[in-house]
Structure 1
Amino acid sequence: MADIDKLSWYYRKQSILLIAGLTLIAFIGMKVWFQNDSLTPLIVSTVFSLIVENIDIMIWARIAKRSPENLPTFFMGVSGFRMLLGIGVMFVYYLVADRNTMFLFFLIFAMFYVVLLVHHTTFFACERK
């Protein structure tokens, strides 16, 4: 059980550092290319990533402690949940924002989504070994 707590803390720390790094890179990109209208997509992507990763960590730790035989089902379910939630966030942003900022939002959101998906996959693939 201590191993699971240690792994969940390690995963949380990596996720927060990765999200902070991506946010910093996006801020630098905003200043270099004078994209002042990309602040809202950056905030939405950062908040989405933090919320989804923290929920993912809490559920994973609970399942790993109580019923580790259900972990493969969890990994499949969390991928589908993350995808549906991401599509929902993009749809809501599409309804709220104007057409010009939608492409920029999609690029920033996709960058966060793909990087965190790769992190999730590599962390749990290496954790099983």
Structure 2
Amino acid sequence: MRDDLKSRALAVRENAHAPYSNFQVGAAICTPSGAIYAGCNVENVAYPEGTCAEAGAIAAMVADGAREIAEVYVVAGSPMPVTPCGGCRQKLAEFGAGDVRVTMATTGGVQQVMTLAELLPGAFGAAHMEGDA
């Protein structure tokens, strides 16, 4: 795991807008070129209209013209590492191969590492859209 990925996720977590849950999450993703994009959760009083940290990082990456994830780091102030939600797992799988490393961490330093394929076995992908077989 890249230290700069971890530090970006921890830093952006501090900017989370979580006035309802008080559960701040930060995410940072790295592309094959080494570029890092970060995002934090942004809650909305009209649940479930908020945005997850992973989705924010992906949006920043796409807005910059990048389309491939090489590594992911997600951090939250929880007693155990928090996994990306189901929707974010699918969003990560849109831009990352099954072997992409996802580090999930707590602000206290506990970490768990899994691949995208382990987080989302049987992911729905572009191959499913290729017409009748």
TM-score bracket relative to the smaller structure:
under 0.3
Higher gyration radius (CA): 1
Greater relative CO, 1 or 2 (CA 8 Å, sep 6+): 1
Q: Which has the higher strand share?
A: 2
Q: TM-score, normalised by structure 1?
A: 0.28
TM-score, normalization by structure 2: 0.27
